[in-house]
Amino acid sequence: MAEVRVFPLSCIVQNYAWGKIGLDSEVAKLIASSDPLGHIEADKPYAELWMGAHPKGDAIILDNRITQKTLGQWIADHPGCLGSKVKDTFHGQLPFLFKVLSVNIALSIQAHPTKELAAKLHAQFPEHYPDANHKPEMAIALTPFEGMCGFRPVQEIVAFLKNVPELYALIGNVAAEQLERSVEAEPDLRGISIALRTCFTKMMKSEKKVFVDQLNMLVKRISQEVAAGKDITKSNGELLLRLHSQFPGDIGCFAIYFLNLVNLKPGEAMFLGANEPHAYLHGDCIECMACSDNTVRAGLTPKFIDVNILCQMLNYTAAPASSKVFPSMQSALDPCTYVYNPPVPDFSVIRIQIPPSMKQYTISSVDSASILLVIHGEATATSTAALSEMILHRGSVLFISANESVSLDLSSAAGMLMFRACCLL
């Protein structure tokens, strides 16, 4: 019998506390749609759906003709499914982890290390940095999605220093004036970067009693202004109060004055390379990343934090929020596909948007293993490498080996929306 090279997956759910609750979660909705017998608990958080072969969330193969239970086991026995370039470049491993995230409470102020730093941290502190790989990642909004990414233009930070005296008190006159001078002088990117690093590090390393006192004063002042009907936008008050309600007394609340607030519409993305400070705040997204679990955290989290490492490793480049929206490119060969192709070799994501007028569609072959997720729509899928028809619908996840195509007969009048993770070397 011919080898099965296209098959459905049952994927692992992570019920982290920050996830959206019950069927408010896109993760839960996808699970419920994909498995009518699955039970969604109304008061339980559904934070992440892991689609891949990571040891902490290895997908289960739903094909009784395949003896290997998990995707990781199958790839280990059939490394040719990855494609020759991917197999050789990534030593027989699937190089990416594909996810859906449903964020209700802010994730930590964090950044991901370079490969070199990841290897060093793993060797020194394996209990906190569990593998030696880097972790570039991309988030693509499924619903309106809110996050922080990269340092704000320095002019915006200086304006907050003038309007938020509690922040100024943490940073101090010397560092604040250094940042102000870097704006007034002729553009000097290195000088701005040094001043920005000094200010951010000074804030993040403040003594706990000092920053908690200042934060409490700030929250009290903004709360009184809200009660008096005053405008609190110059203090970024709405976000400050929201984060403080989630993480009272946390230094990460002050990071909103340094980091860009990025609001993504469905289909828009942001790419988070090595050393880029960021935090997810609210919403549902597709996420794809190098297959790694390395994160350096410094606030808005009950997990292990490493302020010294974070402040040392960050990329202190100031840029507007608009520059953090990562573009997709429509394919010249297929107008239904839009490619998000980040500047790393580990992964790319393809958005497949099939209009209602189209009743047949072919998912093209690529020289890489890929994982396909159906967001909405229904179709009957056929492939010579699947050996039988498969019904795809909302929540279906399909593994497609390298150089295999899949034909779809659409049964939905609303078209289809799918996302496909692969490695376009």
The domain tally of the chain equals 2
- Summary mean pLDDT of the chain: 93
Work out the pLDDT band at 186, boundaries 50, 70, 90. low
How confident is the model at residue 234, as a pLDDT?
95
Q: What is the DSSP string of 113-147?
A: --HHHHHHHHHH-TTTS--S----EEEEESS-EEE
Tally Cβ neighbours within 10 Å of residue 368: 26
- 145 belongs to a structural domain: no
In a domain, 128, yes or no: no
CATH label of the domain that carries residue 213:
1.10.441.10
Q: 249: which 2 tokens?
A: 């007394």
- Cα torsion 31, 34, 37, 42 to 10°: value is 20
Q: How far apart are the C-alpha atoms of 7 and 331, rounded to whole Å?
A: 26
Out of 255, 289, 319, a domain closes at 255
pLDDT one-digit tens code per residue, 68-123: 899 999 999 999 999 999 999 999 999 999 999 999 999 999 999 988 898 898 88
Give 296's DSSP letter. Answer: E
CATH code for the domain of 399: 2.60.120.10
Confidence of residue 161 (pLDDT cuts 50, 70, 90): very high
Among 211, 234, 255, identify where a domain stops: 255
**Token pair 């200086």: residue:** 158
Q: In the numeric block, which tokens belong to residue 84? A: 């020759």
Q: In the predicted model, is pLDDT for residue 293 greater than 80?
A: no
* Catalytic residue list: 297
Query: Residue 56, exposed/middle/buried by CB under 10 A (0-12, 13-18, 19+)?
Result: exposed
Answer with the residue of higher pLDDT: 185 or 28. Answer: 28
Please indicate, yes or no, if residue 51 is contained in any of the structural domains.
Answer: no
Q: Is residue 15 in some structural domain?
A: no
Nearest to 289, CA basis, from 140, 109, 398, 396: 140
Summarize pLDDT for 256-290 with one digit per residue, the tens: 999 999 999 999 999 999 999 999 999 999 999 99
Half-sphere exposure of residue 227, counting CA atoms within 13 Å on the CB side? 6
* Residue pLDDT, tens place only, 341-354: 999 999 999 999 99
116-154 tens-digit pLDDT: 898 898 888 888 888 888 889 999 999 999 999 999 999
Q: What letter represents residue 239's amino acid?
A: L
Same domain for 251 and 333, yes or no, is no
- Whether 320 is in a domain gets the answer no
- What is the extent of the structural domain holding 395? 329-422
Helix, strand, coil fractions of the chain, as percent rounded to 5: 30, 30, 40
Same domain, 333 and 418: yes
Nearest partner of 406 among 3, 5, 1, 2, judged by Cα: 5
Select from 160, 205, 169, 212 the least CA-distant residue to 298.
Answer: 205
Interior/surface letters 311-343, b for 16+ CB within 10 angstroms, e for the rest: bebbebebeebeebbbebeeeeeeebbbbbbbe
In a domain, 357, yes or no: yes
Cα–Cα distance list, 321 to 47, 152, 283, 328 (Å) = 26, 7, 18, 17
Is 285 part of any domain? no
148 is a domain residue: no
Answer yes or no: do 166 and 251 share one domain.
yes
Given 220, 255, 290, which residue is the final one in a domain? Answer: 255
